[in-house]
């Protein structure tokens, strides 16, 4: 990694950025999770690049298309700019093994595979060893581990996810994480 590589804060989308209502793809159904803007402003002010990495199997399942996903993503990115926490990028995986072509493939981007994180690293020149991922599922944490991220944090109140994830730390909500001074200190670049 070059001396100019910067650390990132990677985030899962559904359940971390927005309330997971299941296959959210319309603006009117998108509800930001309380605390997400505070958390991202803190990370951005510390010099971290803000990156979303998200599985979007609703595309493979035919629930919505790439155009609908991209429309919602552009709207979401504009909200983060308005909030003072611009996203460096959003990477998504539309695949699902067993789904119809062209999305029914076993790819290297569907979490828990590390492909989305590695693609962001390559595109943005990120220092993964000094980066953090925040997810709400064990597969998010596994993806971070497989990519070599320095920290993987879980936001969940579900015992099964907590037990399966082996995260570095766990918070019950994004708002609790955003308010935690330990997390704020970890987000600050050393």
Active site residues: 12, 14
- For 21, counting Cβ atoms within 10 Å of its Cβ (0-12 exposed, 13-18 middle, 19+ buried), the class is exposed
> Contact at 8 Å (CB) between 126 and 49?
yes
Of the candidates 23, 19, 22, the one whose C-alpha atom is nearest the C-alpha of residue 32 is 19
Q: What angle do CA 44, 45, 46 make, to 5 degrees?
A: 90
Q: In what order do the strands lie in the sheet with 151-155?
A: 89-93, 49-55, 8-11, 132-135, 151-155, 169-171
- For 107, counting Cβ atoms within 10 Å of its Cβ (0-12 exposed, 13-18 middle, 19+ buried), the class is middle
Look at residue 94 and give its three-state secondary structure. Answer: coil
């Amino acid at each position: 990694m070059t001396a100019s590589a910067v650390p990132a804060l990677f985030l899962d989308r559904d359940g971390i950025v927005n309330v997971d209502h299941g296959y959210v793809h319309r603006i009117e159904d998108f509800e930001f999770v309380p605390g997400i803007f505070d958390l991202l402003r803190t990370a951005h002010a510390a010099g971290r690049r803000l990156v979303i990495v998200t599985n979007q199997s609703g595309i493979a399942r035919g629930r919505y298309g790439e155009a609908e996903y991209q429309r919602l993503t552009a709207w979401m990115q504009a909200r983060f700019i308005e909030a003072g926490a611009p996203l460096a990028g959003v990477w998504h995986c539309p695949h699902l093994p067993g789904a119809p072509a062209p999305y029914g493939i076993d790819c290297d981007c569907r979490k828990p595979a590390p492909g989305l994180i590695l693609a962001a690293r390559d595109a943005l020149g990120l220092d993964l060893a000094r980066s953090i991922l925040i997810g709400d599922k064990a597969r998010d944490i596994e993806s971070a581990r497989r990519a070599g991220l320095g920290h993987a944090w879980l936001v969940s109140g579900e015992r099964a996810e907590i037990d399966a994830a082996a995260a570095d730390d766990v918070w019950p909500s994004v708002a609790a994480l955003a308010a935690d001074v330990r997390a704020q200190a970890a987000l600050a670049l050393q």
